[in-house]
Amino acid sequence: MNQVHLLIPCTSRKIQDASLTMNIKEHISASLEETLHKWERSFSANKNRTKARDLYLGPGFTNLRSLADKHRLSLKILSAGFGLIDGETELPSYNATFAANENRVPTPKNRWWEAVNESALPSLSLQKTFSNNQSDYFIVVASNEYLQAIQSDLLETLKRFDGAPDQFAIISTSIPKPLNDYAKCFVQCSHDVLEHPNASNTGLTLTNRNIGAIASHLFLSKLDLTKPDFNDTICVLNKEFAQLTRKTRVERPKQTDEFVIEFIETQILIDGQQPLAIAKAHKRFREAGYACEDKRFSNLYKQVKSEKGLS
């Protein structure tokens, strides 16, 4: 049986607070190299460590960790602070992120990623990881921020190894321009993924934050793990998503104020029933097949409620 690796982003939430020295902001210096050197020393000095797979909290991470366990996948973690980490590697709790806050790692992201993976920290680049496991398969779940960080490493992996494009599935909401030649490797996600008939079976709330995790479930549900065919599975799933896109983008006819008011009076503010919240009332209007801008509908809804003495 082929080994399949699931690569997922780390999270800011950890099982315990980080010590002061494990905040990257404490080590930011004039150069990337100096920052990394200080970060390495702090890591070496901190002996309070936990397996990476058990370090992170949050419903998205824990859900994907359970998915890896269910399918016996090798879990690996994309970490802003430590690069590509095996789930069994022990790390101290830390604060380092690609997001724009006080613990943001040095930029550009791809240079920091490359430097970390070549440092004394316990990480390997995608290239080295694939080189050591050339018969294996890799599912990469990456937000846009993480994809920006790893794209050079990923591109070199796909270019350097002949078989790699058939052994990578990249689940992301975008395809960076440098990776356009490898579009076949991408499970192309958008908000429409939440409309998939099996999305609600994943155990995740149907929000934009969980698009990648939900798509990972859908991908694995179609994949034969005993004989993986990433290209075919990606193609099938992308076609399903494309159908959802066409379905959810059906144009709704815009209506006059008079029509909207009549609908509110006859279909929503029904005598004897508790008035709906604005968001739910607007959803009912849209589900009936009509369109009205949020602010306009809100104003008309408040107007009718006022006239009926309901506000």
3-state per-residue secondary structure call for the chain = CCCEEEEEECCCCECCCCCHHHEHHHHCCCCHHHHHHHHHHHHHHCCCEEEHHHHECCHHHHHHHHHHHHHCCEEEEEECCCEEEECCCEEECCECECCCCCCECCCCHHHHHHHHHCCCCCCCCHHHHHHHCCCCEEEEECCHHHHHHHHHHHHHHHHHCCCHHHCEEEEECCCCHHHHHHHHHEEECCHHHHHCCCHHHCCCCCCHHHHHHHHHHHHHHHCCCCCCCHHHHHHHHHHHHHHHHHHHCCCCCECCHHHHHHHHHHHHCCCCCCCCCHHHHHHHHHHCCCECCHHHHHHHHHHHHHHCCCC
* pLDDT for position 1: 56
- Averages of pLDDT over runs of 10 residues in the chain (311 residues) are 90 94 96 96 96 95 96 97 97 94 93 95 95 96 93 97 97 93 95 92 91 96 92 96 71 83 87 83 86 91 88 65
pLDDT at res. 251: 63
Predicted pLDDT of residue 250? 54
Predicted pLDDT at 181: 96
What's the whole-model pTM score?
0.78
pLDDT at 248: 55
